[in-house]
Structure 1
Amino acid sequence: MLAIVAEGFFSRLSFGLITFALPLYAREKFGLSLAEVGLLAAFNQIVAILLKPFMGALADRIGLKRGLNIAIGLRSVVTLVLAFAAVPAQIFVARGIHGTSISLRDPAVGALLAEHGGKKQVAQSFAWYQTAKTFAGNGSKTLSGILLGLTASNYTLVFLVAFALSLVPLFVVMLFVRETRAEQTVSAAEEAAPTPHQGISKQRIASFTSLGCLISGSAYMMNGLFPVFAVEYAGLTKTEAALIYGISPVMSLAGPGFGWLADNVSRKLVLSVRSVANILSSVVYLLVPSLGGVIVGRATDDLGKAAFKPAWGALLAQLSNLDKKRRGQLFGFISSGEDAGEALGPIVAGALATLGGFQLMLAVRIVIAAVTEVYTVLVTHSLESHGRTRTGRETYRVSIAVPVRVVLGLLVSFGAGWAVGQVQSDHSQASAKETTPAEPKPPEKATVRCSSDPTVAAIQKQLGEC
């Protein structure tokens, strides 16, 4: 298990360098437009979404460990292609290879985590893996900027450093990762069918795939637009907006804690944190468009992401236990839904913000998150009741759980938003009082002795001059 977490850490450490450097590389060396850079950034995900169901089946066929090794090897090839690219087409080819690598790697890693995590710690396994990736990704992006600054934008050197780092997870997997079910194989005829068909119905797979798409889509609606929202809507400076990103690695530390809760208390409860966090953050963004509000909203979003991965991974592990020979294929199908949500979320958010401003976009995000929470209750309960008849009491529990969880989520969200707004308002009023200058007091008149002449003294007293 430790070897798989180490693979995630070093893989993200390697490719975080590329994530930061590639857009600048494409602009400065090849002169790509912003639209072309955007297409380049999304190209690997497009390829991955299309290939994941089939590459997941391939991982089952050739073995999860071998599939993971091939995927890591392909990512090492990507760094070399980028380092020595001479024309724009070559960097698009590199992104296509990267997408192919993702389509094979993600199902293999998900299936390996499900196997090695065990029934009592599977959520914690996914949590530690995600936490390691988050820390490595943030650190490597910082390292990439430092390297570019120290080497006068020597992109070839940065990509070669990424290549060297990409070899570390390859050796880690080769030496330390073990498959626990090497005796299980899938026939060539079964591999040709792109949909798992034994033990898990197509309808159940479709429901989990669409649920992953909804959760990821609503979560990532703010992902690409966050800097624009912070500067243009909330009135933050660019420096303040950039510093808020430092919240993400701190909040990711909550991931193992959520993993423990998912393993020992309730997976459904932890999974619901993601949708509630989407609602809560959107309400705070709407009610308190200021530095304090944006910090609270961003922290809430990141907390929801930290809760989502362990609970979601544990549910998929439970689902894949119904057909262990096709774990990779199942993870390939469902993770392609998550990727589709990550890709569609920013696109939909941008269209809504253009049409009706950020208020419309955030309002729609609240609605999507509420619908997702309802769908989460229904889908997860269907997994728990698999293979047995639902009792009347269980039916009553589900019918009550749906509206209660949604209403409570909305009440908590608006209540927190109001509280943050009150604190911000009180702080602003206190600051205004401190900065308002006090009114100057009129100068005191000097005391004058009355004249010795009684007539003059009487006049002075009447005028208040003595």
Structure 2
Amino acid sequence: MNTGSQFARLCWVGFLARFSYALARNPVLPLFALTLGAGPEAVGLAVGISTVTGILFKLPSGALSDVIGRRRTMLAGLVFFGLAPFAYLFITDYWQLVAVRFLHGFATAIYGPVAMAVVADIAGARKGELLSWFSSVGIIGGLLGAPVGGLMLSLTALPEGGYAPWAFPMVYAVCGLAGFSALLLGFRTLLREEQVAGGGFGERLGRFVSGIREVSSDRRVVAASAMEGVQNMSMGALEAFLPIYAVTVAGLSAFEAGLLWASQIVVTMLAKPLMGRVSDRAGRKPLIVTGLLCCAVSFAAVPWLAGFWALLAACLVFGLGEALVTSSSAAMVAELCKANQYGTAMGVFGTIFDVGHAAGPIVAGLLVASLGYAPAFAIISALLLVSVPWFVAATRDVRKGAAEGRNS
């Protein structure tokens, strides 16, 4: 199978997997939790518990893939995509939902870093471009999952309120079918001979531990991953509080608030492949720095804007900044490591990414509650700005052409 055909199949696997996962998450999951009697705090736990799985297991999953093989590890992640959704059909109380969400989190915890490593393996000198295309296809799947899930619930809504008894089982059955389709296509794509280092259990365990130690101690890998984490923290904060600000402060409708968030995602999705190609040629660091500056300025501006078009402009700039950072950071991490450590590197990257994603809404919530929107957004923007000189200093010995897109 040539590289183009293999990459196309990987993209289809990624699309189906992300569609399935998004279908299970929002807005279906919070509404399902409410029907089980969950309060606001309990809903938050049900939504966030799968991120905890990622924080705990992305790094060891990525490192394990370097030892036993990336393709078989990726298939293990796809097994969770394909089978875990059917567990929702048997849920009868809230704590069962929390347990299933934690279990479902293994899907992205295992699949996420390993899939990126598989793409990096076949990308050669086009790491930035192909990793960005792969990410954008996954974003499309995630974008479709949420409205499809919402539409399915809307069609089953009862006149007196609530939903038909079979509404949530129907959604999660479709979720399971999409995930199982990703698993079947994954088997066809990934069940091939793969070169992995031999040795007994002790030797493989030693490589597993040394790989984690070597990658995690590389300040350049940590710095590049941290830029994605910091940017993702601001993105999580914007995701949580842009709709609330737009409706309660700026006086916009919920529909307009949704358009604002959708515009940011669409710009990121469309710009990432192009920015990835640019970073392959011009280098990773300039794009990461420029992207962080775009995110910082546009994020800080949000509380000072009131009209729809002004907020839309800020969201478009933020989306472009996100594309600049995310199209380059993962590729830079891959290029800073040996090829046989891509999985570990992406595990470190994914763990820091998840920490930022989980921290963003929490930090923003505490700051907004105590200080208000303008100071809260300014503090988070300042964190983005402060991270830039640290990143530049930490990666000062990264030469263009060595780890910025010129070599594979």
TM-score range for the pair, normalised by the shorter chain length: 0.7 to 0.9
Alignment pair present for 1:313 and 2:313:
no
Picking from 211, 231, 236, the partner of 1:215 is 231
CA separation in 1, counterparts of 2:356 and 2:306? 26
- Name 2:299's counterpart in structure 1: 282
Cα deviation for residue 164 of structure 1 reads 0.6
Q: Establish whether residue 266 from structure 1 lines up as the match of residue 301 from structure 2.
A: no
- Greater mean deviation of Cα atoms: 281-290 or 300-309: 281-290
Give the TM-score normalised by structure 1.
0.77
Q: Answer with 1 or 2: which has the greater Rg.
A: 1
Q: Distance in 2 between matches of 1:220 and 1:314?
A: 22
Q: Which residue of 1 aligns with 2:30?
A: 23
Report how far residue 386 of structure 1 moved.
11
**Percent identity for Structure 1 against Structure 2:** 22
Matched pairs, number: 384
Q: Equivalents in 2 of 1:208, 1:135: separation in Å?
A: 25
- Which residue of 2 is the match for residue 130 of structure 1? 135
SS at match of 1:182: coil
From 348, 365, 375, the equivalent of 1:360 is 375
The answer to which of 336-345 and 298-307 deviates more is 298-307
Letter in 1 for 2:144: G
2:270 matched residue in structure 1: 253
Between the aligned partners of 2:302 and 2:264, the Cα distance in structure 1 is 17
TM-score by length of 2: 0.87
Higher relative contact order (CA 8 A, sep 6+): 2
Which structure 1 segments of 5+ residues have no match? 388-466
Q: Which amino acid aligns with 2:147?
A: T
Q: Give me the whole-angstrom Cα distance separating, in 2, the residues matched to 1:103 and 1:382.
A: 31
- Mapped contact 1:59–1:328 kept (Cα < 8 A): yes
Return the match for 1:160 from 165, 170, 173: 173
Residue in 2 that maps onto 1:75: 81
1:255-303 per-position Cα deviation (integer Å, ceiling 9, x unaligned): 1111111112222122223311222212432442321221111122222
Task: Output one character per residue of 1:237-260: Cα deviation in whole Å (capped at 9) or x when no partner.
Answer: 223212323314531211111111
Cα offset for 1:354? 1.0
Q: Which amino acid is the alignment partner of residue 23 of structure 1?
A: P
- The answer as to whether partners of 1:72 and 1:101 remain within 8 angstroms in 2 is yes
Query: Structure 1 residues 17, 91: CA separation in 2 closer, same or farther (over 3 Å shift)?
Result: same
Which residue number in structure 2 is paired with residue 413 of structure 1? none
2-structure distance, mates of 1:335, 1:206: 11
The one-letter code sitting in structure 1 at the alignment partner of 2:279 is A
Kindly provide the CA deviation profile for residues 59-81 of structure 1, in whole angstroms up to 9, marking residues without a partner as x. 22221111111111112232111
Matched ranges for 1:326-337 at <5 A: 326-337=341-352
Tell me what 2:247 maps to: 231
Residue 92 of structure 2: aligned partner: 86
Flag the 1:352–1:249 CA change in 2: closer, same or farther, 3 A: closer
Aligned position for 1:58: 64
Higher mean C-alpha deviation, range 153-162 or range 198-207:
198-207
Which residue, 361, 366, 372 being the options, matches 1:351?
366
The alpha-carbon deviation at position 185 of structure 1 amounts to 5.0
The separation in 2 between residues aligned to 1:249 and 1:203, in whole angstroms, is: 30
Stretches of structure 2 that go unaligned for 5 or more consecutive residues are 1-6, 158-162, 403-408
